[in-house]
Amino acid sequence: MECHDVKRTCSEIGKADAKEWKKIVDRMKERGAKLDEAEAAKVIEYLSGLKDAKPLCP
């Protein structure tokens, strides 16, 4: 499995809502991301709560 860089995630922050982040995270899991349901829920909650990319993105 090869992951993308953070720029791809940063491009969606502030644009994607929780429903869209769930689709994104589900796609990542299909491609090999090792997240259980609880971890995925935390990632979705965190990313959908960000309104600005600064805390995560350079």
- Residue 57 falls inside a structural domain: no
CB-CB neighbours of 21 under 10 Å: 22
15 confidence band (pLDDT: 50, 70, 90)? confident
- Residue 10 falls inside a structural domain: yes
What average pLDDT does range 31-54 have in this prediction? 91
Q: Give the structural domain span for 42.
A: 6-49
The model's pTM is 0.81
- Residue 1 falls inside a structural domain: no
The average confidence (pLDDT) of the chain is: 88
**Where is 43: in which H helix or E strand?**
helix 37-49
- Residue 45 falls inside a structural domain: yes
Domain total of the chain: 1
- Residue 56 falls inside a structural domain: no
- Residue 58 falls inside a structural domain: no
- Residue 54 falls inside a structural domain: no
- Residue 29 falls inside a structural domain: yes
b (16+ CB within 10 A) / e for 1-16: eeeeeeeebeeebeeb
